[in-house]
């Protein structure tokens, strides 16, 4: 597991999981997910760019989500790649911190189950205790929406 483990019992700790089945082979799904700078095509309101590296292990990826004047910058380091099955990142920004993992499982008929799981530590103290119950449902909804969009783009050949 990546560095920065998160204790779910801590105030402000969060965990979000989303799953989708993509009608495409595991290699194609994995390649589409790790096309970092194209993630903005399926993650709502988000621009993604490589800050350093080539997208492989050790690379720094920045995702900026903006809705009007509200901006959330998420910096993550690619911790481990196990093509075509797993990607591990560590969110290492000022606000969002903690590990994330995406796993691809091949299914019969050239289909792939993709599971995206994030553990994160929100700011501690009162802000964390208040933010967690408010942020989690939106994060869960947003992640599910993004994965459904991702599946459609991969299945239609738009991605990777």
**Other Cβ atoms within 10 Å of 70 Cβ, number:** 8
At the topology level, CATH places domain 13-35+78-155 in Alpha-D-Glucose-1,6-Bisphosphate; Chain A, domain 4 (3.30.530)
With contact defined as beta carbons under 8 Å apart, do 118 and 4 qualify?
no
What's the predicted TM-score (pTM) here?
A: 0.83
Per-residue pLDDT of the chain (160 residues; tens, 9 = 90+): 334 444 444 444 578 899 999 999 999 999 999 999 999 999 888 899 999 999 999 999 999 988 888 788 889 999 999 999 999 999 998 877 889 999 999 999 999 999 999 887 766 556 555 655 555 545 778 888 999 999 999 999 999 8
Q: Where are the domains of the chain?
A: 13-35+78-155
DSSP codes, 75-87: EEEEEEEETTTEE
């Amino acid at each position: 597991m990546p560095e920065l483990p998160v204790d779910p019992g801590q105030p402000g700790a969060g965990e979000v999981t989303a799953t989708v089945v993509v009608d495409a082979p595991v290699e194609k799904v994995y390649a589409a997910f790790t096309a970092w700078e194209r993630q903005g095509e399926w993650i709502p309101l988000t621009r993604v760019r490589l800050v350093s590296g080539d997208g492989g292990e050790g690379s720094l990826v920045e995702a900026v989500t903006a809705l009007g004047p509200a901006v959330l910058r998420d910096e993550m380091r690619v911790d481990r790649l196990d093509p075509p099955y797993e990607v591990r990142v560590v969110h290492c920004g000022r606000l969002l911190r903690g590990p994330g993992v995406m796993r691809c499982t091949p299914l019969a008929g050239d289909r792939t189950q993709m599971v995206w799981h994030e553990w994160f530590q929100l700011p501690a103290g009162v802000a964390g205790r208040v933010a967690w119950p408010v942020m989690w449902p939106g994060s869960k909804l947003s992640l599910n929406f993004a994965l459904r969009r991702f599946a459609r783009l991969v299945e239609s050949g738009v991605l990777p």
